[in-house]
A and B are shown apart, each in its own frame.
Chain A
Amino acid sequence: MERIDIHPTHAYKDFKLRRGRPFPFGVTLVPGGVNFSIFSSHAKSCTLVLFRKRASEPMIEIPFPDEFRIGNVFSLIVFDLDYENVEYGYRMDGPFNPKAGHWFDNSKILMDPYAKIVGGRDVWGVTPDWNNVYQHRARIAFDDFDWENDRPLEIPPEDQIIYEMHVRSFTRHPSANVKHPGTFAAIREKIPYLKELGINCVELMPVYEFDEFENNRPNPVTGERLLNYWGYSTVGFFAPKAGYAATGKLGMQMDEFKALVKTLHRNGIEVILDVVFNHTAEGNEYGNTISFRGLDNQTYYMLTPDGYYFNFSGCGNTLNCNNPIVRSVVLDCLRYWASEYHIDGFRFDLASILGRDPWGAPLANPPLLEILAFDPILAKCKLIAEAWDAGGLYQVGSFPAFGRWAEWNGRYRDAIRKFLKGEIGMVGDMAQRLQGSPDLYASAARGPTTSVNFITCHDGFTLADLVAYNEKHNESNCENNQDGTNDNYSWNCGWEGPTDEPGIKTLRQRQMKNAVAMLMVSQGVPMILMGDEMGRTQNGNNNTYCHDNELNWLDWTLSKSNADIFRFFKHCITFRKAHPVLRNKHHFRNVDYVGSGYADITWHGTQAWNADWSHFSRIFAFMLCGKHAKEGTVQDNYIYVGMNMHWETHWFNIPGLPEEMKWHVFANTGANPPEDIWQSGTEPVLENQYGLLVGERSVIILVGK
């Protein structure tokens, strides 16, 4: 039987209409037409504005009849719409009174916050028509992708190895040699590389629609245009960045991104999105009106009592995340990406903001974080917090976790960096970091995988720069070198920047190897930064957010010139995967609870069994008992890691193994390639089973089997 709701009841000029359904919000294809639904707590009336695709003037403006509003939601169905070729927006009428938080202005055409595709920046870097009245143009999407038997992979967090990348930077360099440089499609072409490296998760820097032209300005020296390149400034929370898709010009970015996720999944690689819910691209009082400001400013933004924007994000405004309405938008958004795009997890930029109340005060039990932690659709998604914000809230170790949330461990990063450069007073700290930071997490019953361990990420130096620069060199950002952090804990190994001095070059190579060796034997979830595996440099710039050039683009020829580094990374990753004792779900107990004669973890130094915990120590070692792997449920080899961050060579006595076993050398960063590392499983027997020399600033990893 035919339903009667496929027939129009109203008409406006040439368009046939019917009362819409308020739920779901956004746009839904219904039989014979398109359902539009939008809410505003303070608007008096609303008009739907329809454009032909890319047209400068609207083709029709349809005021919502009064009776089509239910509560604060305006909804209507437009019949017989050529929905593939239209763009839509809204005009909202209401008070303009910034002191009271209201910015209604019916001369503005507003983008639907629930827009699934956003046009207007279809091809990366093409200068927009600034005269167009509607810059970021909501479009109507097909959400009928054929996933076949795909589903998020649900890799246990302790088995994850994350690779943080920027979509465009990964393949934009000519040396990437791909058909569509800088796109989702190109990442798909590079999957064999990711598999060879051995990572099993890519964390994509923001892929929500953003405007690379936001705040664009010329570099006064070179004339080159500086962009919002990284994209930490969201325009459309439900829309993938068109400029990252080879098919963005055809409006098929949704399919292209889904095809990438599906293929990555087929290859055993998860996808985590870096999501920016702390602020929007609308900036402060002087920013553009794109969507939220004109729809319901007072609801969406944290405002001072005088109606100004709070700026906990450092980017002009702060999304009012613990307002119940905004909370729902965030939840809808994440549910959408998890279900519609099969996304495996989310990393929340400046997540501490999500725990502030509408007046900015940190909440003890933030409802938004709780809702996300217990949501049934997000139940298997990884939730990772960048547990600080630009307003001074630093919550590493204390982020409200609800048994779910992991954290970017900033303390891990800082401790490894300081130890690596030879700072004193770090040995005790290091012991905690290598165990998955139980000092931060165990008391709250949070396991080692709470800690996402990283030494470098997009913010700050690359690994190669960490060992080549003492100071940041951000002049090309044209902010007088004032931007970017000063707390780099880096050491240039004797010369600032590039050098031909062989001793310095060798030391830098060794320091990079030391870093990745420590990372891959740490309990927790390791994360590496795109390109570190081939020694990518940013010439000392520690905040390259605005550069669409070689400072950010990965130069693939480095994989040849730094083949030793790549090989070292690759073998370290394989080693981690081969040894469950490195990937525990629960914290060590520092006792023997399986009767092996060894505690799960034991501490050593130049003398076996006697670690030097004193303030001036730069040396320490630990051993993992293979019989305690995964709480004694699986059998693994014994692993010994000796770290000498002193500038002199030292003899390390090593602990004896059970009788039938022998120590084998897996890695020795002090040795020259190819003897610096061995393919896991092919390690040669250690000559002297009682000890070995560990070179200056070197790490050795032994396997007892």
Chain B
Amino acid sequence: MKINNLTIEEVTLIDLAGNVDANTALTIQEKVLPLAQTGRKILMDMTKVPYMSSAGLRVLLLLYRQVSAKDGRIVLVGLSEEIQDTMSVTGFLDFFTTRETIQSGLEALN
């Protein structure tokens, strides 16, 4: 799992690469949750995430809850069709705004 982040003005771009599952969930939680500052807009690029497990979906939801609690917003971009489908079927997708590209994700945030 690789996690990069870059903050431009009030948008933080987080770039995940690798599987999001029970093995990587804690790392993501430790690195990403602190980025959820008050009013922060977060763009999560998932283009390089091939697989998300149940634990992985929960990290995303945790992040969503923290960001919303601090009046921030989060947009997911580049979800694979399979991950998007899993999220839809399990109800997780209902919580998130999703876009196909970083560009359209930025537009959704602004």
Contacts and interface: CB of A to CB of B under 8 A. Distances in A.
B22 interface: yes
Contact of B91 (A245, A246, A262): A262
A26 B39 CA distance: 42
A149 to B, nearest CB: 13
Interface stretch (B3-11, B51-59, B72-80, B99-107): B51-59
A142 B53 CA distance: 12
Contact of B89 (A82, A180, A262): A180
A157 interface: no
Contacts of A145: 91
A289 B65 CA distance: 44
B61 interface: yes
A252 B61 contact: no
B95 interface: yes
Interface residues of B, number: 18
A185 B91 CA distance: 10
B95 A146 contact: yes
B22 A259 contact: no
Nearest to B82: A250
B22 A247 contact: no
Interface string A104-148: 000000000000000000000000000000000000001011100
Contact of A84 (B54, B88, B90): B54
B72 to A, nearest CB: 18
B86 A247 contact: yes
A84 B89 contact: no
B53 A255 contact: no
Nearest to B54: A252
A247 to B, nearest CB: 6
Interface in A240-259: 245-247, 250-252, 255-256, 258-259
A255 B23 contact: no
A476 interface: no
Nearest to A262: B91
B22 A252 contact: no
A255 B90 contact: yes
A246 B55 contact: no
Contact of B90 (A83, A85, A144, A252): A252
Secondary structure dominating the interface of B: helix
B21 A246 contact: no
Contacts of B85: 179, 246
Contacts of A83: 22
B55 A247 contact: no
B85 to A, nearest CB: 8
Contacts of A258: 91
Contact of A256 (B23, B53, B61, B89): B89
B21 A84 contact: yes
Contact of A250 (B22, B53, B61, B88): B53
A255 B54 CA distance: 9
Contacts of B22: 82-85
Interface string A193-232: 0000000000000000000000000000000000000000
Interface string B33-57: 0000000000000000000011101
Interface of B: 21-23, 53-55, 57-58, 61, 65, 85-86, 88-92, 95
27 contacts: A82-B22, A82-B23, A83-B22, A84-B21, A84-B53, A85-B22, A142-B55, A144-B58, A145-B91, A146-B61, A146-B65, A180-B89, A183-B89, A246-B85, A246-B89, A247-B86, A247-B89, A250-B53, A250-B86, A251-B54, A252-B89, A255-B54, A255-B57, A255-B91, A255-B92, A256-B89, A259-B91
Given A247-B90, A252-B57, 18 more contacts: A82-B23, A84-B21, A84-B22, A142-B55, A146-B61, A146-B65, A179-B85, A180-B89, A183-B89, A185-B88, A246-B89, A247-B86, A251-B54, A255-B54, A255-B57, A256-B90, A259-B90, A262-B91
